[in-house]
Amino acid sequence: MQRKQDISSTPQGQHQNASHLPQTAVIEGEILGEAVLDARDMSYMNFARIEHAKLSKILLQFVIPAMGGYENQMASDIARHLEQIQTFSGNYCWRHRHLGASHGVVGEAGGEK
């Protein structure tokens, strides 16, 4: 039985593998700093989530049915935009909501107005 030699472990094999790599690579862009939400910012996100829920309820229960329901293209667009706002905002940073609660509630006594 004859074995093949793994040429990647030889000096010649290393040279052979290296010849497949590009000589230089240019990476363009900007390195951004870490995004940080403090308790006040998170409190604002909690408030925005509550306000979005109120607006959504008005639009979905009253406005869209008055427009003829989802068969109306504008009504469908409104519903889609509501869903996209909630989805792409991470539901207004839902998983960090407790941080905002430590700051207070926006619009109530003890919180910012």
Domain boundaries, the chain: 32-101
Q: Work out the average pLDDT over 1-18.
A: 53
* pLDDT for 87 beyond 50: yes
pTM: 0.59
By CB neighbour count within 10 A (0-12 exposed, 13-18 middle, 19+ buried), where does 18 fall?
exposed
What pLDDT is attached to residue 111?
A: 45
**Residue in this structure with the two tokens 């940080």, named with its chain if needed:** 36
Find the mean pLDDT for residues 72-94: 91
pLDDT, position 113: 44
- Give the CA-trace dihedral at 95, 97, 100, 101, to 10 degrees: -140
Cβ contact 36:96 at 8 Å: no
Contact between residue 38 and residue 100 where contact means Cβ atoms under 8 Å apart: no
Per-residue pLDDT tens over the stretch 45-60: 889 899 999 999 999 9
| Confidence band, pLDDT 50/70/90 cuts, at residue 22 | low
